[in-house]
Amino acid sequence: MVYCAISGVRFPCLPSVCNTKSQSSFNGDPLCRKGLSFFSKKDPSSCNSPFYFSAKVKMLAGKSSYDSDSPNLAVTTSTATTTTTPTPEKVLVPPDGNASEDPLVPHDVECLTMEDNQIVEDKEKHETTAPLSESIIIGKTEAKSRSIPPPGSGQRIYEIDPSLTGFRQHLDYRYSQYKRIREEIDKYEGGLEVFSRGYEKLGFIRSETGITYREWAPGAKWAALIGDFNNWNPNADVMTQNEFGVWEVFLPNNADGSPPIPHGSRVKIRMDTPSGIKDSIPAWIKFSVQAPGEIPYNGIYYDPPEEEKYIFKHPQPKRPKSLRIYEAHVGMSSTEPLINTYANFRDDVLPRIKKLGYNAVQIMAIQEHSYYASFGYHVTNYFAPCSRCGTPDDLKSLIDRAHELGLLVLMDIVHSHASNNTLDGLNMFDGTDNHYFHSGSRGHHWMWDSRLFNYGSWEVLRFLLSNARWWLDEYKFDGFRFDGVTSMMYTHHGLQMTFTGNYNEYFGYATDIDAVVYLMVVNDMIHGLFPEAVSIGEDVSGMPTFCIPVQDGGVGFDYRLHMAIADKWIELLQKKDEDWRMGDIVHTLTNRRWLEKCVSYAESHDQALVGDKTIAFWLMDKDMYDFMALDRPSTPLVDRGIALHKMIRLITMGLGGEGYLNFMGNEFGHPEWIDFPRGDQRLPTGKIIPGNNNSFDKCRRRFDLGDAEYLRYHGMQEFDRAMQHLEEIYGFMTSEHQYISRKNEGDRVIVFERGNLVFVFNFHWTNSYSDYRVGCLKPGKYKIVLDSDDPLFGGFKRLDKDAEYFSSEGWYDDRPRSFLVYAPSRTAVVYALVEDELETAESENEPAEG
């Protein structure tokens, strides 16, 4: 996420929509009952129900403010929830033989026992209800079950980090809130597996007899479904509201059996709200499009015929031990100044990523966003893929091709905030300020100019949990990079805040318990239903327990993005070489929590944006324009830049964590910055910020530069490729053996071991060292497996790549052995123990059997 103001969202709030005086539905007003779970059979008697825990109460111990007025719920261990493939047009009949009168209301969990379950046809039902069981028989195929483990004790975090015991009250309270939510989901919703399939109940639901459309909008006083299918007539399909604020309408099939809403039709919901009449895109819409020449988007009813739907052909790859992530933006992935398509990315960019040696692609800006220049972070339609790049089926084809290539596909998902766009998005959806978001200033992010979710709302939990599952289930994404998690976890959002590592910064009244509990529950759902899925959190604060499993008391992410590393490199690049400190570099790269994995990066999309600089641009500046051709003399600035560019990336991968990330194009030092097309912007103060004449010139990736063998960019690209393949062969990022034997400030040398590799970095700008002794653990012969000074990588060939290095006994730099090397200035060299050759020689010397 870009931590800077993104102002000038294209659609300002309409005065009639923004100036609402409606009260919060959680403060005892008449709308209170409409905020309750509309899937619940057990209707709590008041707004003090445990369904809603106040987002304003941040208790460190004891009961929260609602406990005295709410039922006393015992915190017990939930049973594991299993998921099965739902059977179309089937419903589960409880033991009494009567189906629920309301298709939205599932039966109590206790009714769904295996011995009582039976599948029967119910012609009066419009959609599917899936039973909660180990597995069911569908035709002749048995559906495999997936389970979400019950909450654990949450106490292992104190064994991992005894320092946390001083904050036990806060952490135990946090875990109790998580357990309470899990239990209430089990009790009232049939379990997390069912709860996270809200898209089967809300939005457009197709059945054999027609289409049901439902929308949760408790603030609306009247609603109707409008669109091309009924000539936008608001009186044709008026909706009815139930006691929980859910509006519903059923459209029967046409006389010829065709669906009442044709595939590809434009649809919206018209509502009479406290802020006036408004037309909105359905909140659970699966596709939305901006027509040429129009400003607002339109929701699209997307339900292609079976023969046109994309069918996945390739299995999802297993999660690799170490992640090498290629961060990409489909729209700006073309070499031409235009918005690229999913199909072109599939055919042109995915093979490039595979060839470079990455094993995962992280795709940005998937969720629909009206404002292109928001980089996809001002989401308007959460269940819809970005229509600028193609259709939902085009995106599925892209993901399937990636799986064929053995690449994981991670989605940059935005649950930290939402666009403030009132025409296309969730903001003021039902005419109230507090529908999906906190009301007042707490519901607005002053720097990002966006809305902030109320994670204490039951229906917000349903919406976000279902959203995460939708992308994993429907599109076969292999995991997520959760954006802006620091902003979620603290009421100050990490703004104007320096995290020093003091635990009081993490476990106090500034922590948003509701948000942290949501993150725990969504990670529970992800890992329970999709065991191979990857969950990465963008957290700059260093929150302890962030990557500890939820059952042990942690937040449950697999990886944390190690954001401090990129900041450190930018800091150093503004200093002279003489002011770089080896110990400072090593400390930043290795400053991470035990047993909590990190994805490191030297630079991501943040550093490539206009207003910032990439590492290559910091290093070489304007010389990149005139001195990158091999048939022209270089300059000292270019030579220094290319050398340090390679060293920075390798040491970041070598020491920074268990995963590595690179933003597309930065592997070869992409020149200039990213600047999305934009017009002039007038601020409320009257000041005008000049645009770029809506140009796409700097909103693309010049992959042709990295491929051109006559340019120095090619050598930088080849080094990055060699670096990725080296990790693939040796797996050094996840090696249990890591030892830093030298960080010499005088020599400007860093030496460390990972696995059977010895890394030697000489950051000195002029000094090269002959017969330089480096320590090692294992005895034997070493060879060069990666040399940044290789001519192939734009180096000066000061090393013999065929040379052999033999260890000698004796302690050096606290290592039991050592060997002598030549360490040229500004180079990084990796030496590998030649174990395979030794094993081969030993096997050849063994006497033959018989």
Among the listed residues 538, 539, 606, 720, the single catalytic one is 538
Strands (E) located in 233-349: 240-241, 246-252, 265-273, 276-280, 288-289, 298-301, 323-329
Distance CA 718, CA 723 (A): 9
Whether 538 is a known active-site residue: answer: yes
Q: For residue 137, what are its two tokens?
A: 């028989």
CA R_g for the chain: 29
Query: At a CB cut-off of 8 Å and minimum separation 6, what does 558 contact?
Result: 479, 534, 535, 536, 547, 597
Residue of 644, 642, 590, 595 lying closest to 754 (CA atoms) = 590
CA triple 769-791-360, angle to 5 deg: 105
b/e for 809-845, b at 16 or more Cβ within 10 A?
eeebbebebbbebbbbbbbbbbbbbbeeeeeeeeeee
* Closest to 17 in 3D by CA, of 278, 279, 295: 278
The three-state (H, E, C) secondary structure of 351-372, written as one string: HHHHHHCCCEEEEECCEECCCH
DSSP H or E segment with residue 457: none
Please answer whether residues 141 and 34 qualify as being in contact, where contact means their C-beta atoms are separated by less than 8 angstroms: no
DSSP tag of 82: E
Catalytic residue among 215, 433, 483, 552: 483
Longest dimension (CA), the chain: 94
Q: Is 483 a catalytic residue?
A: yes
Q: How many CA atoms lie within 13 A of 602 on its CB side?
A: 27
What is the tally of helices (H) and strands (E) in the chain? 19, 39
Displacement of CA 799 from its chain's centroid (Å) = 42
Q: Which DSSP symbol is given to 329?
A: E
* 3-class DSSP assignment, residue 769: strand
Place of tokens 């949501």: 518
Neighbour tally for 780: CB within 10 Å: 16
- For residue 461, how far is the Cα from the chain centroid? 17
**Among the listed residues 268, 276, 275, 199, the one whose alpha carbon sits nearest the alpha carbon of residue 239:** 268
Kindly state the helix (H) or strand (E) to which residue 805 belongs, with its residue range: strand 804-806
Closest CA to 787 of 840, 723, 836, 739: 723
Q: Using an 8 Å Cβ cutoff, are 557 and 549 in contact?
A: no
| CB-CB contact of 591 with 628 (8 Å) | no
Triad 538, 403, 361: Cα angle to 5° = 30
Distance between CA 442 and CA 425 in Å, rounded? 19
Q: Say whether 749 sits in a helix, a strand or coil.
A: strand
The catalytic site residues sit at 483, 538
